[in-house]
């Protein structure tokens, strides 16, 4: 009976929080191990290198989120003629919020990690996700395409990446934006409120007719 958490888990827990807040390259192993209250050398013992620690942090979230998202999309897909874009995006809310049950602030940490990863890793993360979770992604992309059949495939490719940018940038800036919104408008939004604000924005953008000029 352990009186404290596994060293490996302690490292992952401390690392994901710091990575999400500060970015990968701005977070040193020394900072991680001191917050985790473990020895500096234990990172290399358990993970081999900082790069592999980063992958382990991301995989721990993706392994929970991706299958869960897939299931929710497939549930809609049973009656595909009724699934609007808003419904498809909204189907991701539950898998996202369930990450909060896995760990405190899990939802926002996951989305921030995703954004940091895409921007810092020069394409490595995109490769990692499509090769490891490609089938789950395909489920999602197919559902979106079916509910917006007037959008050509190539255009949809761009719009889904616009969508990814919208949400990950928003989440990377969420703390700062929340502070401003509180000061200027008296609003107090949690992560779920922000997600619910951004979904109509993304759904409208994805579905807007292509200009024919």
Contact residues: a second copy, CB under 8 A: 22-23, 25-26, 115-116, 118-120, 122-123, 126, 153-155, 157-159, 161-162, 164-170, 172-173, 176-177, 180-181, 184-185, 187, 194, 197-198, 200-208, 210-211
Q: 30: buried, middle or exposed (CB in 10 Å: 19+, 13-18, 0-12)?
A: exposed
| Phi, then psi, of 74 in degrees rounded to 5 | -65, -30
The closest of 64, 207, 52 to 128, measured between CA atoms, is: 52
DSSP reduced 3-state for 6:
coil
Name the binder of 45 from a second copy, DNA, none, CB < 5-8 A by kind: DNA
Q: Does 9 help bind DNA (rule: CB under 7 A)?
A: no
- Least distance CB 165 / a second copy (angstroms): 3
Q: Please, what is the minimum distance in Å from the beta carbon of residue 186 to a second copy? A: 8
Q: What angle do CA 64, 70, 76 make, to 5 degrees?
A: 140
Closer residue to DNA, CB minimum distance, 45 or 157: 45
Q: In whole angstroms, what separates CA 137 from the centre of its chain? A: 13
Of the two residues 40 and 204, which places its CB atom closer to DNA in the complex?
40
Cα 159 to Cα 192: distance, rounded to the nearest angstrom: 23
128 binds, among a second copy, DNA, none (CB under 5 to 8 A by kind): none
Per-residue mark of binding to DNA, 96-135 (x: CB under 7 A): ----------------------------------------
As a whole number of angstroms, the distance between CA 80 and CA 161 comes to 23
Scanning the structure block, which residue is given the tokens 């007037």? 150
Q: Is 46 in the site for DNA (CB under 7 A)?
A: yes
* Contact footprint for DNA (CB under 7 A): 7, 27-31, 38-46, 48-51
């Amino acid at each position: 009976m352990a009186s404290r958490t596994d060293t490996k888990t302690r490292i992952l827990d401390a690392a994901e929080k710091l990575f999400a807040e500060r970015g990968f390259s701005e977070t040193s192993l020394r900072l991680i191990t001191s917050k985790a209250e473990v020895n500096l050398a234990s990172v290399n013992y358990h993970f081999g290198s900082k790069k592999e620690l980063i992958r382990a942090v991301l995989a721990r979230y993706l392994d929970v989120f991706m299958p869960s998202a897939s299931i929710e999309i497939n549930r809609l897909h049973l009656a595909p003629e009724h699934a609007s874009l808003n419904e498809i995006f909204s189907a991701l809310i539950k898998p996202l919020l369930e990450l909060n049950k896995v760990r405190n602030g899990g939802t926002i940490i996951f989305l921030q990690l995703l954004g940091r990863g895409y921007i810092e890793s020069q394409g490595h993360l995109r490769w990692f996700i499509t090769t490891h979770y490609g089938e789950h992604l395909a489920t999602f992309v197919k559902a979106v395409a079916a509910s917006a059949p007037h959008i050509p495939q190539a255009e949809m490719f761009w719009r889904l990446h616009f969508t990814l940018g919208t949400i990950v940038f928003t989440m990377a800036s969420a703390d700062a934006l929340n502070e401003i919104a509180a000061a200027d408008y008296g609003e107090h939004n949690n992560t779920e409120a922000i997600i619910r604000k951004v979904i109509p924005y993304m759904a409208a953008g994805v579905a807007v007719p292509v200009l024919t000029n």
